[in-house]
Structure 1
Amino acid sequence: MTVATRFAPSPTGYLHVGGARTALYSWLYTKNKGGKFVLRIEDTDIERSTQEAIDAILEGMQWLGLDWDDGPYYQTKRFDRYKELIQQLLDEGKAYKCFMPAAELDKIREEQMAKGEKPRYPGMWRDRTDHPEGQPFVIRFKNPLEGKVVINDHIRGTIEIANSELDDLIIQRSDGTPTYNFCVVVDDWDMGITHVVRGEDHINNTPRQINILEALGAPVPEYAHVSMILGDDGKKLSKRHGAVSVMQYRDDGYLPQALLNYLVRLGWSHGDQEIFSREEMIELFNLDAISPSASAFNTDKLIWLNQHYMKSLPASEVAEHLKWHFEQLNVDVNDGPSLEAVIAIQAERVKTLKELAEISQYFYQEYEEFDAGAAKKHLRPVAKEALQLVATKLAAVKEWDPENIQAAINGTAEELGVGMGKVGMPLRVAVTGSGNSPSLDVTLNLLKKQQIAQRIDKALKFIADRENN
């Protein structure tokens, strides 16, 4: 048997964290088994589905690197197939037309709830043939009246549901469109899906879908229902907890490798291991090792992983993602040091790529003004002599490298008989515009001599203006 899994989001919103984890688990299981991963867009909710949401889902999957082998399929393009099989069930007496007005059904359900009963369709049109001419109708599936559905869930073990608990599901609306539960069944059959990994909110749908599959003579896939993700406060993850959309994590400066590593551990584990490369995830992943308990999202843990990957991944890999953040700042990184070189000296100092880009702009463009606090403290008249002398010594450096740059700074301090801070801090503010940067030898090494000279001149002018005012 060739394993086939699918990720089947509804395009009514962005790809969220819970959906991304489900997609990851499906993708990993397929890759582990050498199977096929299918992407299917379940867009039967025509009023709420949007092209914007479809684009966001595809972009999120691509950013995470969850490549699909087949698809994307769109349910709205398969209506003829669904209608063909609905007609087959009608012909075989496994489905029927129901002419009950919605208002009548609502009234019955209200009465059932008032008696403390489970609201359900009572099946009065199940065997009727006195169909009124020209009246609207829905088509319902004839659910078995006896027996039970047994689900051997990979995560939750055996689940049994009596057929007497299930009413006759609508499989085609009065406007002729097929319903979600029927489309899913047909798609899973046609696409050869062997394992369905999805959220626990679908458990109630599963027995209904299994009954329809069996009525069609289709094979029943294996199921794994994943628990929900909770926020840091123990409540269901939502927008109030911060980023929920996958692409918001990209915008906030997280690496996809960090988010994937974090998501895989939200419910699955392999001993005490915390860091997993993509290859390790594929090799070690097992559906049966997923916990049935809900997982709590911990932003601090994600930040820790992001910092780990910024420092440990090949700099060229990090640079691809960092470049995007510079583009958002309208910073051209082509005229300046390599992004790899900037990552090497800045990654230790930040939590996200967004921060890294923000604090590294001075490598690629002139800063507009000095940080007010840093300038007030360090660009004072007393710093003028140190800045003038260090400018001369730096201009005289023949072999531009960190060692010779540091020697010029040290020489300035010695010649003036002052501590290193009296030279280093004014120079740092002059060159970077702020009081924070990596050590000056490596920082200046990534800048051009001419840039440094111009910025020191700018600082000296600032000091002169300050003296005159």
Structure 2
Amino acid sequence: MTTTRFAPSPTGYIHVGNLRTALMNYLIARKSGGTFILRIDDTDPERSKEEYVDAIKQDLEWLGLHWDRVERQSLRLDRYAEAADKLRGMGRFYECFETPTELDLKRKKQLNMGKPPVYDRAMLNLSAEEKDKLRAERGDGHWRFLLDQERIEWTDGILGDLSIDAASVSDPVLIRGDGQVLYTLASVVDDTEMGVTNVVRGSDHVTNTATQIQMIEALGGTVPAFAHHSLLTGPQGEALSKRLGTLALRDLREAGVEPMALISLMARLGSSDPVEIRANLDEVAEGFDITKFGSAPTKFDVDDLYPLTARILHETPLSDVAADLKAAGVPDELADKFWAVVRENITTRKDIAGWWELFANGADPVIDDEDKEFVAQAMTMLPDGPYDSDTWGNWTAAVKEATGRKGRGLFMPLRKALTGQSHGPDMKDVMPLLQVVKAKG
């Protein structure tokens, strides 16, 4: 059975970059009838916050990305300790005592000599006495995984055949000096023990994947099928990381973006398939193909979400917006007629309240100087309400006959006077909903 996972760190809110990873893993699981695990990467007790765990779940639920089970890495520390002991017993785990400053100096020296900044394994051959002395002086050291310095090869689901020389990579630190288990070890143990078959993540993890493949094999696990998607950029190709603070999912939700607008865009962005609005996640999963995604950086423009949101709302039935209409104050007896009139003239649900305000209380009229006398005369001819679907046609016909105006010169000034807007729904449909006309006179 296919098993995928999404493993966010609860150190902040999910943004569009995180969503891309979550969605791809979700769709692979759902398309195959497999299992999608939400795995909370909370091994850092200082930075991990329960409020962010709750927020992650809320954001995924808003999008309809329902998980089959939740795992917490903070509850699996004993499993990581056992794996670390196993690696020690195999001679694949060794303690190091360099300070961050010393490691930085080593890297700079290697770079100045034109060499790659790879850890030199200086601590690998320390005697027990030397380790005891350093431990007494500096406290517990950090632990590195000893890589076999050979080529690591795999076929990536997006990037194709990859090969990385392990000799060009530093032995990864898996446990810090303070005992904190780092992502690389926790992820390998979890993927192995949870039977994860497919892992999709950002292309910035390619080197991590190479080292993790060796770790999985050392621990006797089965290597998952890896795929590394491209990283998102801004619309001009700029680094998206500088804007992520405004691209959190909860911010997009607050801005009125519809969940399926976001899903439909992110499920195709960066692939060879065009973006198409889908009604639900089953439709999205059915058409999802990880092999159609490319490796080039993918441009993301938040403004692209609003036309998609508008198109979704244009097709949304009354039953799905009834709560929004009630919150805006639309009476139940007018809800059907109101939604039929405004649905194609809103971009987000947040626009609903403004339309009802216009219908219920009228709008501040917009009257150009050259139209003042014309509008004043026309308003004296507007009958008292209530209005029906014939009111606009009968009124404008009478005004045309009285003033000689026609076409745009007739209709536009009257629309602006009644609604304060130069565009919108057909005025024959607007008139029956107008409760107050403040533009008279």
Give the TM-score normalised by structure 1. Answer: 0.80
Aligned partners of 2:260, 2:368: CA distance in 1, in Å? 36
Deviations 1:42-71 (A, max 9, x none): 233444333443333222212221111111
- Match among 337, 350, 354 for residue 334 of structure 2: 337
Alignment match, 1:156? 159
Aligned partners of 1:226, 1:312: CA distance in 2, in Å? 32
Alignment match, 1:137? 140
- Match among 95, 98, 118 for residue 97 of structure 1: 95
Aligned partners of 1:291, 1:422: CA distance in 2, in Å? 52
1:215 to 1:375, Cα distance in 2 relative to 1, 3 A: farther
Aligned partners of 1:406, 1:23: CA distance in 2, in Å? 51
For structure 1, the residue ranges without an aligned partner over 5 or more in a row are: 464-469
Deviates more, 1:248-257 or 1:425-434: 425-434
Alignment match, 2:361? 366
Q: Secondary structure at the match of 1:402?
A: coil
Deviations 1:111-149 (A, max 9, x none): 222212222322232243323165322342442333221
CA contact (8 A) 2:174 2:185 kept: yes
For structure 2, the residue ranges without an aligned partner over 5 or more in a row are: none
CA contact (8 A) 2:260 2:278 kept: no
Alignment match, 2:347? 351
- Match among 418, 427, 439 for residue 440 of structure 1: 427
Q: Secondary structure at the match of 2:361?
A: coil
Alignment match, 2:75? 77
Alignment match, 1:65? 64
* 1:382 matches 2:385: no
Aligned partners of 2:185, 2:337: CA distance in 1, in Å? 55
Aligned partners of 1:14, 1:46: CA distance in 2, in Å? 17
The one-letter code sitting in structure 2 at the alignment partner of 1:439 is: D
* 1:288 matches 2:291: yes
CA contact (8 A) 1:409 1:424 kept: no
Aligned partners of 2:171, 2:400: CA distance in 1, in Å? 90
Deviations 1:192-231 (A, max 9, x none): 2110000001111111111221121122111000001222
Matches of residues 218-257 of structure 1 in structure 2 within 5 Å?
Answer: 218-240=221-243, 243-257=246-260
Deviations 1:421-445 (A, max 9, x none): 9997787667656565423332233
1:374 to 1:91, Cα distance in 2 relative to 1, 3 A: farther
Q: Secondary structure at the match of 1:132?
A: helix
Aligned partners of 1:357, 1:376: CA distance in 2, in Å? 32
Give, in angstroms, the shift of residue 179 of structure 1: 1.0
- Match among 155, 177, 198 for residue 180 of structure 2: 177
Give, in angstroms, the shift of residue 358 of structure 1: 3.0
Give, in angstroms, the shift of residue 316 of structure 1: 3.3
The one-letter code sitting in structure 2 at the alignment partner of 1:118 is: P
CA contact (8 A) 1:409 1:423 kept: no
* Equivalent residues, number: 433
Q: Secondary structure at the match of 2:174?
A: strand
The one-letter code sitting in structure 1 at the alignment partner of 2:349 is: L
Alignment match, 1:467? none
Alignment match, 1:208? 211
Alignment match, 1:50? 49
Aligned partners of 1:206, 1:241: CA distance in 2, in Å? 25
The one-letter code sitting in structure 1 at the alignment partner of 2:89 is: D
1:378 to 1:48, Cα distance in 2 relative to 1, 3 A: farther
Q: Secondary structure at the match of 1:260?
A: helix
RMSD: 3.4
Aligned partners of 2:379, 2:322: CA distance in 1, in Å? 41
CA contact (8 A) 2:2 2:197 kept: yes
CA contact (8 A) 2:260 2:277 kept: no
